[in-house]
Structure 1
Amino acid sequence: MEGIYQHFRKEEYAFIDQILDLAIQVEDEYTPRLTEFLDPRQRFIAETVVGGYDTMKTSFFGGSEFTERKRALIYPDYYTPEENDFKISLFHIRYPVKFTTLTHQKILGTLMSLGIRREAFGDILNQGEEWQFFVDQEMSHYVTSQLEKIGKVNVMLEEVALRDALIVQEEWEGQMITSSSLRLDGVLSNALHLSRQKAKQMIQAGLVKVNWKVVENPDFECEEADILSARGYGRIKLIQIHGRTKKDKIRMDIGFLK
């Protein structure tokens, strides 16, 4: 499996090692192993790594079929996964709706302030004034005992069945752009109609993420299926990278999250 590294970026090697360790445990002990919540890029890596083994498979679940962040279950090929194997709890946030509003950022910040690693909880769902979030089942008691306020707002957590999760589906609006290279600053400037210098400044200021991780290097090479996000501009997905135009520009299909 050593050859697997050549297909990925150096900063992803540590995560590849984590998945390889789990795969070895499954192979040696012939029992399933569960990851924390993974973003789509991590899921792609996990699926690629496990795909190199003939005797095991991987399945993903984040609490509902519409979630972005999902846990991976790596298991022997004889095993049939069930929903309970993913050990996910869902909490509905009860709060005084008439007197305050909650935001994704406030909820995320509060959970992180409790000392919970981002990988221990999944999507934060919103539909109108309703808010929910998924969390590792093993963290459920700690969360309910510690989370009493979000900002200055008193809240109460109600654990609900996964089948009662809010349905939140992402919609992407497609567009075709060209760029002289796959450098992050070039792709960003063309996608957002910014000057190259402005895009470079945003990246160096830590305002840009690639696959949910801050990237401060404008030279960073983008790849197909990458998710870019720039603060204040939303998310961009590199759907497909095509060949070059007659003017030697790279054509690519991108999507903007609505």
Structure 2
Amino acid sequence: MIDKDKIIRYYKATEEDILAARLIEIAESVEKNKKYKASFFLSPSEFQIAEVICNASEDLSVVAYGGFENAERNKAVFVHRDFKYQIVMDFVALEINWDKRYYSIAHKDLLGAILAICKREFVGDIVLVETGAQVVVEEKMAEFLLQNLTKVGAAEVSIKKIAVEDLQVKEQKTKVITATVANLRLDAVAAAGYSTSRTQMNEGIKLQQVKLNHKPAKGAAQEVKVGDTISYRGRGRVEVVEIKGITKKGRISIVLHRIL
């Protein structure tokens, strides 16, 4: 039995209590019907809430489904331990195309056009591909998007359904960075990862452009550790892979992976 009140109280401090309550409702329905049920699309930090809820129940497990390999936004599928059958997902894959000779459309442009039509929770990952873009959406919103997404900015676009199996694997480029830092503060490590100054990184943190483990950074002085993920709006993410030790000059040697 999930201690609903305890979990909601815990997330009230971060103003995520409403989301937690919605996810608990889904989990409780699975405890009763002993089958499975999927949430709406969640960011990585939101998915962590689903994992906390799952850990509070002896009968449930939670699986991430986002359509793409290495998807960032996933549905949390709560599954009862007695359910032994196949899980059928209720999302649809769409492909968006435009004349690339005349228009250059970025991820943020596509996201803005889609969110003008439907809520963020109905939309999974958007991936730019050679022919245009692919996106995963809730089944109930697919037809609405097919009928209403006709332009992105000044560019006319065409949109069609494709098989989920035809979604292309998200390409990830990784740059290995070996650096030394004065300390393990977020501003110092992030500055090394993004090849920028600590002053500029501090400004990004103040403007809430920087996240630590998928949540807005609380401050420049937050200490990072191995396994942490830092993201800087529009500049990819940095993973802390190794803290090697102290150099002869008293600095800390670290290894980072920057995902582009």
RMSD: 3.4
Out of 52, 65, 69, the position equivalent to 1:65 is: 69
C-alpha distance 81-154 of structure 1, shift in aligned 2 (>3 A): farther
C-alpha distance 43-20 of structure 1, shift in aligned 2 (>3 A): same
Unaligned stretches of 5+ residues in structure 2: none
C-alpha distance 184-12 of structure 1, shift in aligned 2 (>3 A): farther
> Contact between 2:40 and 2:75, CA under 8 Å: does it hold in 1?
yes
For residues 54-133 of structure 1, the aligned pairs below 5 Å read 54-80=58-84, 82=86, 84=88, 86-114=89-117, 116-133=118-135
- Report the 3-state secondary structure (helix = DSSP H, G, I; strand = E; otherwise coil) of the residue aligned with 2:75: strand
Partner of 1:257: 259
C-alpha distance 235-35 of structure 1, shift in aligned 2 (>3 A): same
Unaligned stretches of 5+ residues in structure 1: none
> Contact between 2:178 and 2:254, CA under 8 Å: does it hold in 1?
yes
- Report the 3-state secondary structure (helix = DSSP H, G, I; strand = E; otherwise coil) of the residue aligned with 2:230: strand
CA distance, structure 2, for counterparts of residue 245 and residue 145 of structure 1: 59
- Report the 3-state secondary structure (helix = DSSP H, G, I; strand = E; otherwise coil) of the residue aligned with 1:68: coil
- Report the 3-state secondary structure (helix = DSSP H, G, I; strand = E; otherwise coil) of the residue aligned with 2:14: helix
C-alpha distance 206-59 of structure 1, shift in aligned 2 (>3 A): closer
Cα drift, residue 161 of structure 1: 0.8
CA distance, structure 2, for counterparts of residue 6 and residue 173 of structure 1: 40
> Contact between 1:64 and 1:163, CA under 8 Å: does it hold in 2?
no
Out of 133, 137, 140, the position equivalent to 2:139 is: 137
> Contact between 2:98 and 2:132, CA under 8 Å: does it hold in 1?
no
> Contact between 1:206 and 1:214, CA under 8 Å: does it hold in 2?
yes
Do structure 1's residue 20 and structure 2's residue 24 form an aligned pair? Answer: yes
CA distance, structure 1, for counterparts of residue 102 and residue 244 of structure 2: 54
CA distance, structure 1, for counterparts of residue 131 and residue 124 of structure 2: 19
Partner of 1:33: 37
CA distance, structure 1, for counterparts of residue 115 and residue 252 of structure 2: 40
Cα drift, residue 125 of structure 1: 1.6
- Report the 3-state secondary structure (helix = DSSP H, G, I; strand = E; otherwise coil) of the residue aligned with 1:11: coil
Deviations 1:82-125 (A, max 9, x none): 453x21111111322333232212101111222x2222211112
Partner of 2:188: 186
The number of equivalent residue pairs is 255
CA distance, structure 2, for counterparts of residue 5 and residue 186 of structure 1: 34
C-alpha distance 220-33 of structure 1, shift in aligned 2 (>3 A): farther
Q: For 2:116, give the aligned amino acid.
A: S
Partner of 1:201: 203
* Identity, % of aligned positions: 22
Partner of 1:245: 246
